[in-house]
Structure 1
Amino acid sequence: MKGNFIYFIFLLLLSFSFVDCAKRGNPEGGLRDTIAPVIIRTVPENYTINFKGNEIRIYFDEYIKLKDLQKNLIISPPLNAPPTLYPLSTSKYIKIVFQDTLRENTTYSINFGNSIVDNNEENPYEFYKYVFSTGSYIDSLKVIGTITDAELLKPEENVSVMLYEVDTEFKDSIIFTQKPIYVASTQNNPDSFQIENVKEGTYLLIALKDNNSNYTFQPKTDKIGFVENFITIPTDTSYVLNLFKEIPVYALSRPNALNTNQISFGYEGDAASLEIEMLTSTPEGFRHHLTKEQKKDTLNYWFQPKMELDSVTFKISNRVFIDTIQVRLRDVLLDSLKFSPIKAGILAFDEPFEISSNFPMISYNKDNIRVMDKDSVVVVFEASLDSYFNILQLSFEKVERQNYAITLFPEAITDFFGTTNDTLEYKVSTRTLSDYGFLTLNLNNISSFPIIVQLVNEKGEVQKELHSSEKSTFEFANITPGKYFIRIVEDTNSNGKWDTGDFLNRIQPETIIYYPKLLDIRANWTLNETFILD
């Protein structure tokens, strides 16, 4: 009995020792795998010629998977029907099955980008390219160059660079409807490109920020860059493709009657020359007025009196197009007259106070408007009305740490329908000058005038701009502290704004030159910068 007890104690102590050993023996993970997959063979071999089949297999030394394949895969020349790639999950091989008939005597390249990764750690096999030819040799010529962006300091990533063969059937409009014969991507370097395995010939060279990934130019969504003249390969030239967004070709969307006295006309393109004329017979005393919405490509056609018809007909025209369109009227009463400030609260010293309305403002009575500071001193102001954008602007001199009360007494504003405002009261204020930053910029080697000097934020949005036809020193005042770039616009056509390009008319965008340094504008601080233009 005693021996059994001692034996029990011995087993108990032994079990504790195993628990303790287990605690001390916690295993730790090994070194992380950082080695990319290795290709052990391909069927047929890479750079094979006289390719006759419809299938390619690529074998690896470990399990792999395809990651973000649609984003990475580039096949040149592009196929009408994309190939099927197997397997969809993990495997030690990739199988490519062509669903499209391959061209005769053509060199094809399949670039996987960074899509091939190992199964565990996703180490990429970077930019693997499989090349084959349906003819007796591999085309070996190439085209190189750089990508820039007309408006941005750096181009966007994943820009497609394309070659269209110039033959007897070539037309400029081919880029809108057909895929190119060669394509490459800037996915491994957004600033440069290289199209390889190209055959000798004459080509149109373009670049697209192809947001639809369909290898055709869609002006609504895509940016384009182009070389003005056709290029001949072989060549030692390094080309520069400058991306820009075109103004869309004019197009009118279906008009919509919003109420008994308002019809909205949505459009695409430039509305500067757009004219809207009612063709339907109008009643005696008929009047109309056109306004443009600030943040939408929409024109509002206002009219009175109410027309007792089911529909009316309009002629819509610009310099090139004429459309005739019928609009069904709606018996919906007008809302009440409303006003709202464009910006309330804090105003910068050089910023006017602006008011908009839901109905067209036709006139104002300055005598019924008052601007007063916090000491009840009346402030002198100037008023102006932009009846197209429907904005009333009040400009007055401001001082530091001041509060202003802006009152529009009854009948200060009259709208298109003869309605006037009730009393409107707004309050705005100013900061101190020391809350803002200041910048003095000296430009050297200006090649031509006029120029526009713009202060833009990190998103490329213009915050302030100055125009010059002769001076080279520019002073920006009352800058909200933050990070800014300076850019210079060469205003070639002297219209006071930057103009984009046009592919079909072979017009490049106006040149924009960025000051290379990001400026840190601080409160109560003046920067002095000198920019030597190349």
Structure 2
Amino acid sequence: MKFLTYTLAIFFVSCLLLTSCAKRGYITGGLADTLPPVVLKCIPENFSTNFDAKEIKITFDEYIKLNKINQNLIISPPFDTQPEIIPAGSATKTVTIKLLDSLKANTTYSFNFGQSIADNNEGNVLTDFKYIFSTGSYIDSLKVQGSIKESYNFKKDNFISVMLYDATTFNDSTVYKEKPIYITNTLDSLTTFSIENVKEGSYYLVAMKDRNNNNKFEAKTEKIGFYATPIQLPNDSLRELVLFKEEKLPNAVKPSMVSQNKWLVPFEGDYKNLKIEALANNEPIDIRFSKIQEKDSLHIFVPKVAYDSIQFNFKNGDYEKSYVNKSRKLKEIDSLSISFNKSGGIDFTDKIELLTTTPVSTFDKTKMNLIDKDSVQIPFNIINDELNLKMFIDFEKLENQRYSFEMLPGAIIDFYNKSNDSLSTSFQTEAYTKYGNLTISLGNTSQFPLIIELLDEKGKIIIFKSIEENIPIEFPYLKPNKYFVRIIVDENKNGKFDTGNYLKKIQPEKVYLFEKPIDVRANWEVNETLVIPN
């Protein structure tokens, strides 16, 4: 009996121990895979010479996938007919490249896969794997290195193509018509470049934002940067290329009639130096034109006279173009209307902005009235921006003040001799302590004149000032915000940034971008010293 009791006791204790040890657990699967794929073999071998194969096979140690292969793969020298990459989308251990174009003799070819090769499970990227071969007896090993700089904008472009052209056959039209003999790409994040496996020789160096991936420059839509003189290899010097967008050349498209007194003209190029003449039934008529905001188009306003045909003559520098148009009977829909761009609060740096629907011919300040909250007359200036159908009322503003602006009938007369109705609005300023003041001092500069632009976080120019000598630049009464500074060396003293021109071999004006934000807070006095790089 004692033995039975002892046995049962041991049994129950064992069950309790087993139960306590049987805790719930989870299968972890081991450590996460963080290693990129490994190339096991290449057929023909990587860095082969006397290459004459039509197909290349690259085998990896695990299943891989190709991501954005058309964007990432850089082949130098580029082919006229792109090779076929198999498989294009599915997972595989072997990538096959079928060469569909003939190979040049005694030339080193490089296939840089960029960020396109990743393992199928974890997405670990094999960065910048290169397959290189030569159709000659040796692999070329020289390189050209440098950096890409944006000419004006803070936002930098990615995927910039950097190209080398044979200097012995290069001319002004080469970048428009022919592909380079060597090429690389900055891909999605770099501002530096390295063109490798280049043979000894003399080359022209060009960079471009090649939007349609045809390795040719299209000035209307693409940016370009160029090194002015040929470079001789071997040479270890670093080159800087400044990327810029050319100003569009003047080009007017045939006008279309949109109302009885207005025509629409798609137009590219410089508006400010544009001259337009019009002939109605072969007789000159007086016209006005304005730019359509945020569009490459303009409106031409014509008199309300009867005519069978009208001829428009466009002239801008060397550019001349004429169009003859038949008149149609349409409703007159354009008459003078005036509105204010804002009301309520106004900042100390703001102007009152009036928007008109037709061009203003004359204005009479005696029929305009600006007073403060105590009915004291406030002096003001008027700027008529006919090109943009805007008028600006500028005046000195004081803190905690309310201003009322009134226009009596006849204050504004438009192109059609129509006048405004009575119009009024009011604005309120806040206390000076709601704003901050910024003073900028410049170090290490002897270049003048300079244009100092202050931008907000969205890249909008808030205010700018020009200086002829090295003096502190004051920006009072700024809204609390983070600001960025852009400094332009105004080489031709025209008060604005001038971009480059490839055919004329003109580089853009020098621009210094200060990417560190300046924090301006309410009731702060901020003093910032900016050192211009050598």
Are the structure 2 counterparts of residues 197 and 43 from structure 1 closer, same or farther at C-alpha, using a change threshold of 3 Å?
Answer: same
Are the structure 2 counterparts of residues 287 and 249 from structure 1 closer, same or farther at C-alpha, using a change threshold of 3 Å?
Answer: closer
Task: Report the secondary structure of 1:517's partner residue.
Answer: strand
Q: State whether residues 287 and 300 of structure 2, in contact with CA within 8 Å, keep that contact through their aligned partners in structure 1.
A: yes
Identity within the alignment, %: 41
Is it true that 1:266 corresponds to 2:280 in the alignment? no
1:280-319 aligned at under 5 Å gives the runs 280-281=280-281, 286-309=285-308, 311-319=309-317
Give the C-alpha shift of residue 21 in structure 1.
10
Decide which moves more: 400-409 or 504-513.
400-409
Which residue number corresponds to residue 145 of structure 2?
Answer: 144
Query: Which string of whole-angstrom CA distances, capped at 9 and with x for unpartnered residues, describes residues 150-191 of structure 1?
Result: 2145743322111111234x3211112222111111227623
Are the structure 2 counterparts of residues 95 and 19 from structure 1 closer, same or farther at C-alpha, using a change threshold of 3 Å?
Answer: farther
Q: State whether residues 43 and 57 of structure 1, in contact with CA within 8 Å, keep that contact through their aligned partners in structure 2.
A: yes
The amino acid that maps onto 2:529 is T
Structure 2 distance, partners of 1:125, 1:210, is: 25
Give the C-alpha shift of residue 280 in structure 1.
4.5
Q: State whether residues 147 and 193 of structure 1, in contact with CA within 8 Å, keep that contact through their aligned partners in structure 2.
A: yes
Structure 1 distance, partners of 2:22, 2:415, is: 88
Give the C-alpha shift of residue 266 in structure 1.
2.1
Structure 2 distance, partners of 1:493, 1:384, is: 25
Structure 2 distance, partners of 1:476, 1:92, is: 62
The amino acid that maps onto 1:496 is G
Give the C-alpha shift of residue 401 in structure 1.
2.4
Give the C-alpha shift of residue 71 in structure 1.
2.1
Which residue number corresponds to residue 477 of structure 1?
Answer: 476
Query: Which string of whole-angstrom CA distances, capped at 9 and with x for unpartnered residues, describes residues 468-525 of structure 1?
Result: 1124211111212211122321111111111111111111111112346321111111
Which residue number corresponds to residue 324 of structure 1?
Answer: 322
Give the C-alpha shift of residue 68 in structure 1.
1.7
Unaligned runs of 5+ in 2: 1-17
The amino acid that maps onto 1:385 is N
Which residue number corresponds to residue 367 of structure 1?
Answer: 366
Structure 2 distance, partners of 1:458, 1:244, is: 22
Unaligned runs of 5+ in 1: 1-17
Q: State whether residues 281 and 307 of structure 2, in contact with CA within 8 Å, keep that contact through their aligned partners in structure 1.
A: no
Is it true that 1:73 corresponds to 2:76 in the alignment? no
Task: Report the secondary structure of 1:157's partner residue.
Answer: coil
1:321-360 aligned at under 5 Å gives the runs 321-335=319-333, 336-360=335-359
Task: Report the secondary structure of 1:176's partner residue.
Answer: helix
Q: State whether residues 147 and 155 of structure 1, in contact with CA within 8 Å, keep that contact through their aligned partners in structure 2.
A: no
Which residue number corresponds to residue 115 of structure 2?
Answer: 114
Structure 1 distance, partners of 2:381, 2:156, is: 43
The amino acid that maps onto 1:232 is Q
Are the structure 2 counterparts of residues 459 and 179 from structure 1 closer, same or farther at C-alpha, using a change threshold of 3 Å?
Answer: farther
Task: Report the secondary structure of 1:518's partner residue.
Answer: strand
Structure 1 distance, partners of 2:74, 2:22, is: 53
Decide which moves more: 25-34 or 411-420.
25-34
Which residue number corresponds to residue 15 of structure 2?
Answer: none
Q: State whether residues 361 and 416 of structure 1, in contact with CA within 8 Å, keep that contact through their aligned partners in structure 2.
A: yes
Give the C-alpha shift of residue 407 in structure 1.
1.9
Which residue number corresponds to residue 204 of structure 1?
Answer: 204
The amino acid that maps onto 1:94 is V
Is it true that 1:129 corresponds to 2:130 in the alignment? yes
Give the C-alpha shift of residue 367 in structure 1.
2.1
The amino acid that maps onto 1:432 is A
Are the structure 2 counterparts of residues 24 and 328 from structure 1 closer, same or farther at C-alpha, using a change threshold of 3 Å?
Answer: farther
Which residue number corresponds to residue 91 of structure 1?
Answer: 92
Task: Report the secondary structure of 2:312's partner residue.
Answer: strand
Give the C-alpha shift of residue 23 in structure 1.
8.4
Task: Report the secondary structure of 2:452's partner residue.
Answer: strand
Give the C-alpha shift of residue 222 in structure 1.
1.8
Q: State whether residues 155 and 190 of structure 1, in contact with CA within 8 Å, keep that contact through their aligned partners in structure 2.
A: no
Decide which moves more: 207-216 or 356-365.
207-216
Structure 2 distance, partners of 1:125, 1:188, is: 15
Which residue number corresponds to residue 6 of structure 1?
Answer: none
| TM-score, L = length of structure 2 | 0.91
RMSD of aligned alpha carbons: 2.4
Which residue number corresponds to residue 487 of structure 1?
Answer: 486
The amino acid that maps onto 1:34 is T
Are the structure 2 counterparts of residues 516 and 302 from structure 1 closer, same or farther at C-alpha, using a change threshold of 3 Å?
Answer: closer
Task: Report the secondary structure of 2:388's partner residue.
Answer: coil
Structure 2 distance, partners of 1:422, 1:20, is: 92
Question: What stretches of structure 1 move > 4 A for 4+ residues in a row?
Answer: 18-23
Decide which moves more: 346-355 or 113-122.
346-355
The amino acid that maps onto 1:314 is F
Query: Which string of whole-angstrom CA distances, capped at 9 and with x for unpartnered residues, describes residues 174-223 of structure 1?
Result: 11222211111122762311100111222110111222222221222222
Structure 2 distance, partners of 1:470, 1:373, is: 37
Structure 1 distance, partners of 2:40, 2:450, is: 59
| TM-score, L = length of structure 1 | 0.91
Give the C-alpha shift of residue 76 in structure 1.
0.8
Structure 1 distance, partners of 2:211, 2:458, is: 19
Structure 2 distance, partners of 1:513, 1:287, is: 44
Query: Which string of whole-angstrom CA distances, capped at 9 and with x for unpartnered residues, describes residues 432-466 of structure 1?
Result: 21221111112233212211112123444322111
Task: Report the secondary structure of 2:70's partner residue.
Answer: helix
Structure 2 distance, partners of 1:509, 1:156, is: 17
Task: Report the secondary structure of 2:125's partner residue.
Answer: coil
Query: Which string of whole-angstrom CA distances, capped at 9 and with x for unpartnered residues, describes residues 39-58 of structure 1?
Result: 10001011112222221110
Give the C-alpha shift of residue 144 in structure 1.
0.9
Task: Report the secondary structure of 1:388's partner residue.
Answer: helix
Give the C-alpha shift of residue 264 in structure 1.
2.3
Q: State whether residues 260 and 306 of structure 1, in contact with CA within 8 Å, keep that contact through their aligned partners in structure 2.
A: no
Q: For this pair of structures, how many residues does the alignment match?
A: 515
The amino acid that maps onto 1:177 is K
Task: Report the secondary structure of 2:175's partner residue.
Answer: helix
Query: Which string of whole-angstrom CA distances, capped at 9 and with x for unpartnered residues, describes residues 233-290 of structure 1?
Result: 2212211111111112222223222111111222212233322222443569x43223
Give the C-alpha shift of residue 355 in structure 1.
0.5
Structure 1 distance, partners of 2:438, 2:186, is: 36
Give the C-alpha shift of residue 126 in structure 1.
0.7
Give the C-alpha shift of residue 25 in structure 1.
4.0
